[in-house]
Amino acid sequence: MSDDSLLELARRAPALTVMATRRSEPKLAPPAPSAAELAFAIEMAATAPDHRSLTPYRMVAIWPDAAAAIVADIELERPDDAARARVSFSRAPLFVAVIASPDAAARTSVEEQRDAAVVATGYLLLALRALGYGSMWRTGRLARDPVLASALELAVHERIVALVGVGTSLGLPTHPRSRKPRLEQLGSADSQETFGLA
């Protein structure tokens, strides 16, 4: 199929349009989704592949008041780190912590359960885009901060795999752009070559 044919297909298939126009947006403006919209996006995220349907993750909304309280607690413990945390939380009006919570007793490996949390994060980004919101998947220092871990009541076996910033896009394009690797970079669709591993 030609590029034009693929673009036409994307226009006729809303899910493909969402995928083709999703972007990582470092700065997002208010408003954030409503609680009902966010709950719906999380429900859609939970449709991601999940071996044995364990749902080995949880998603916690961090609204502005909670973010401010976390920053205040960081400032009490480590004043030098508070400014960085404040800047991080200022980049979006809402954050969603995606927490991998694998069950070590399950027959599905812990690694595969963590993978399910990561895939669900990707689905969350797409669901938010479909609802008209922008998002940014973040990790880094804040995601590993013990104060945040305490605020989210992380158990010993749990780990934050994403802090997803959510809000209104500042000029998100409505058309695809050529930023993804082209097929020839990944492998051949008409051979037995392994995509990305050749």
Contact 31, 167 (CB under 8 A): yes
Residue 190 DSSP class: T
Q: How far apart are CA 144 and CA 159, in angstroms?
A: 8
Confirm or deny that 157 is annotated as ligand binding.
Answer: no
- Give the full edge-to-edge strand order of the sheet including 94-100: 57-62, 94-100, 159-167, 134-138
Confirm or deny that 23 is annotated as ligand binding.
Answer: yes
Confirm or deny that 139 is annotated as ligand binding.
Answer: yes
- How far is CA 117 from each of CA 8, 61, 85, 89, rounded to the nearest angstrom? 32, 16, 24, 22
Nearest to 50 by CA among 97, 133, 106: 106
Confirm or deny that 63 is annotated as ligand binding.
Answer: no
Residue 97 CB partners (closer than 8 Å, separation 6+): 59, 60, 62, 143, 148, 152, 160, 162, 163, 164
Tokens, residue 196:
């990305």
Residue 153 CB partners (closer than 8 Å, separation 6+): none
Confirm or deny that 138 is annotated as ligand binding.
Answer: yes
Q: Which segments are annotated as binding site for FMN?
A: 22-24, 51, 137-139
Q: Which segments are annotated as binding site?
A: 22-24, 51, 137-139
